[in-house]
């Protein structure tokens, strides 16, 4: 099995690497779901170096997912009262199907346990069927539907999903 590392990201250089990878992932995966204009808007608003630095100042923690020394994905979470809000978990299409998404969730579960928390919460686009199926397979449950205005006339039309983590 290839060597996978999940490494904390804090430097501008780390965020530049993630921003570049995010653009590749989002333009390929999300353009058919939400369209190119909304993808471009969301990349700038949520996945740019400046956006990541602001999120870190608000308590988010970013991690790079590397396989055999290559950056193939990233994740970000923020601690909440009872758990971690998994804001981002993305794996490049060339690295999907190798268990990296599951490894990322296992990493986050370990963080939940280390911190004495009890759950992972995330949101996922309602039309992102493959990701929803993967989350359900890993034990997440849909808890509610969310429609959030994110500006410029765009909305995020998501499911909230939660995974209870035993201690």
Give CA separation, 84 vs 80, 96, 103, 113, 162, in Å. 6, 24, 16, 10, 10
Give the pLDDT confidence score for residue 2 in this predicted structure: 59
- Taking residues 41-70, report their average pLDDT: 95
Give the pLDDT confidence score for residue 44 in this predicted structure: 94
**Residue 4 pLDDT greater than 90, yes or no:** no
Across the chain, mean pLDDT equals: 94
Contact 8, 61 (CB under 8 A): yes
**Residue 31 pLDDT greater than 60, yes or no:** yes
What are the beta bridge partners of residue 40? none
Give the pLDDT confidence score for residue 94 in this predicted structure: 92
Q: How far apart are CA 133 and CA 45, in angstroms?
A: 27
**Residue 83 pLDDT greater than 90, yes or no:** yes
H-type alpha helices, 66-122: 100-114
Structural domain spans, the chain: 4-117
Contact 122, 85 (CB under 8 A): yes
Q: What is the domain class of 4-117 according to CATH? A: alpha beta
pLDDT in tens, 86-131: 999 999 999 988 889 999 999 999 999 999 999 999 999 999 999 9
pTM of the model: 0.93
Give the pLDDT confidence score for residue 167 in this predicted structure: 54
Give the pLDDT confidence score for residue 166 in this predicted structure: 78
Among 96, 4, 19, 159, residue whose Cα is nearest residue 27: 19
Q: Which residue has the tokens 């911190």?
A: 115
Q: How far is CA 19 from the centre of its chain?
A: 13
Say which residue, 23 or 97, is predicted with more confidence. 23
Handedness of CA 102, 107, 108, 112 (dihedral sign): positive
């Amino acid at each position: 099995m290839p060597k996978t590392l999940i490494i904390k990201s804090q430097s501008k250089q780390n965020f530049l690497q993630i921003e570049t990878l995010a653009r590749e992932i989002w333009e390929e995966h999300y353009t058919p779901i939400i369209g190119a204009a909304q993808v471009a808007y969301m990349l700038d608003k949520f996945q740019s170096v400046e956006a990541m630095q602001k999120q870190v100042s608000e308590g988010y923690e970013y991690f790079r997912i590397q396989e055999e020394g290559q950056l193939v994905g990233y994740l970000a979470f923020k601690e909440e009262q009872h758990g971690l809000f998994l804001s981002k978990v993305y794996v490049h299409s060339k690295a999907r199907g190798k268990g990296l998404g599951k490894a990322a969730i296992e990493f986050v579960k370990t963080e939940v346990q280390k911190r004495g928390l009890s759950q992972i919460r995330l949101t996922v686009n309602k039309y992102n069927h493959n990701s929803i199926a993967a989350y359900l397979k890993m034990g997440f449950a849909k808890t509610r539907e969310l429609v959030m205005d994110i500006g410029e006339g765009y909305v995020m039309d998501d499911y909230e999903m939660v995974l209870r983590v035993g201690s």
